[in-house]
Structure 1
Amino acid sequence: MHQDAKFWNRVAARYAKAKIGDMPSYERKLEVTRSYFTPDMEVFEIGCGTGSTALLHAPHVKHIRATDISEEMIAIARTKAEAEGVTNVSFEVAAIDDLDVPNESQDMVMAHSILHLLENRQAVIQRCYDMLKPGGLMVTSTACLKDGLGWVRFLLPLMRLVRFAPSVVKFFSAAELEKEFTDAGFSVAYKWQPGPKKALFMVLRKPE
């Protein structure tokens, strides 16, 4: 089991009930993402949580393969998909390192609220680049904690002690993250930050 799977299993039910903090920004991100969709798209999602975003996007694409390290999160996602009658999203318990995804097989990769929780972020970005078809897209929304939220670093030991934080939380700036994408070969197609200390939303494109 992945080192933080136990944490996410434990908080899954509470996570599923939590309301989105900034709904207008979330809806804008959904809208922008959909502007890049085509009905024949194969989409891969890393860190899908309880599946909310994948299920909202499902009507607009051919298929979404959504993954998460938490069995409990995936169980909730599958229940929601069944209740909503969504059949073109497959939910899997897996870390990206453990998945067999052929190179140049995906039209889009989504990675929301996950990159700052990865030990090997640069390797994952490169893996996403490799699995995309030429001209494929990576869509991310990422907390760049180095930009005005560095103080969180000092709270983490206490938060972990009371089991309120996972073991891996990485601190980097929006500029550093963007450089990691361009170093991997991506170009920036769209970039938006709703405000200071808000997650950075990006659409990255692999060259044709």
Structure 2
Amino acid sequence: MITSAKFWDKIAAKYAKSSIKDVESYQYTLGRTRSYLGAQDKVLEIGAGTGSTALELASSAGHVTITDVSPEMVRIGKEKAREQGVTNVEFHVADAQVQDLTGPYDAVLAHNVLHLVEDLPATLARVHEILEPGGVFISKTFCKPTGRGPWLYYALVPLLPILQLIGKAPFVSFMTIGELESAITAHGFKIIESGSFPATELRRYIVARHVPD
């Protein structure tokens, strides 16, 4: 099975060119995220891909650290930052547990990555560790439907192990919204906002506040 970094390296160029399918919903959650950031805040995004969202949010924060497990994603992200003239950011190649970064951060972002993390408990514990007490953890995560879902989901699930075996798909964890929220609260967070935008979206947007130990 292909490693996570190699998988994302292979598709980085195509990923960078992909367009946002639902611009209205993306802009809405972007605005919600921006509302939790302060002009002097230190922000970290894990699993940021080529950094598109982090670069959009950079003007609303003091400094943004952008990480991804894929060196190629990070290379493309650096090019984007230079092209866009965004200077209050830095990039690091790191997995979701960002062991080489110490923080503390006022906000940690994890957009479209938690379902791709193999050790979610360790990742959530690490996020809690590097967040300032009272800081926010903001995520958007694919969650499996508990009722009737789109046909494509049910078609892909049985094929996923085969695709993973031949290097055509990454690790994916299938959690319900309830399971994801329980995991987050079990690691020292209080959820202050949770929703799907639009309501039929299978990715859950969650804002959770760091509760001191």
Paired residue for 1:181?
A: 184
| One-letter amino acid matched to 2:57 | H
Q: Is the 8 A contact 1:49 1:77 kept in 2?
A: yes
Q: Distance in 1 between matches of 2:100 and 2:165?
A: 35
Structure 1 position 20, deviation (Å): 0.9
- 2:169 aligns with 165
Aligned pair 1:199/2:203, yes or no? yes
Instruction: Show structure 1 runs of 5+ residues with no match.
Output: none
- The answer as to whether partners of 1:144 and 1:197 remain within 8 angstroms in 2 is no
What is the rounded CA distance, in whole Å, between the counterparts of 2:186 and 2:71 in structure 1? 33
For residue 86 of structure 2, give the secondary structure of its aligned residue in structure 1.
Answer: coil
The CA distance in 1 between the partners of 2:77 and 2:100, in whole Å, is 21
Rate the CA distance shift 1:206–1:196 in 2: closer, same or farther, 3 A.
same
- Structure 1 stretch 35-44 or stretch 156-165: which is displaced more? 156-165
Partner residue of 1:60?
60
Aligned position for 2:72: 72
1:30-69 alignment to 2 at 5 Å? Answer: 30-69=30-69
The number of residue pairs the alignment matches comes to 205
Tell me what 2:96 maps to. Answer: 96
Relative to the length of structure 2, the TM-score reads: 0.90
Matched AA of 1:126: A
1:128 corresponds to = 127
CA contact (8 A) 2:145 2:176 kept: yes
Give distance in 1, aligned partners of 2:154 and 2:121.
Answer: 20
58-67 vs 186-195, which moves further: 186-195
| Structure 1 residue 31 displacement after superposition | 0.2
Structure-1 separation of matches of 2:31 and 2:140: 14
Shift of 1:22: 1.3
Deviates more, 1:38-47 or 1:148-157: 148-157
SS at match of 2:39: coil
**Contact 1:113/1:142 (8 A) holds in 2:** yes
Quote how far apart the aligned CAs of 1:146 are. Answer: 5.1
Identify if the C-alpha distance between structure 1 residues 146 and 120 changes in structure 2 by more than 3 Å, giving closer, same or farther. Answer: farther
Q: Which residue of 2 aligns with 1:83?
A: 83
Residues 138-165 of structure 1: CA distance to partner in whole angstroms, max 9, x if unpaired? 0000001354446532020333355431
- Is 2:145–2:202's contact at 8 Å kept on the other side of the alignment? no
1:75 aligned partner, one-letter code: R
- Structure 1 residue 185 displacement after superposition: 1.4
TM-score (norm. length: structure 1): 0.92
**Deviation string, structure 1 residues 81-108 (Cα, Å, up to 9, x no partner):** 00111111101111133523336x1100
CA distance in 1: counterparts of 2:164 and 2:101, whole angstroms: 33
Unaligned runs of 5+ residues in structure 2 are none
**Counterpart of 2:108?**
109
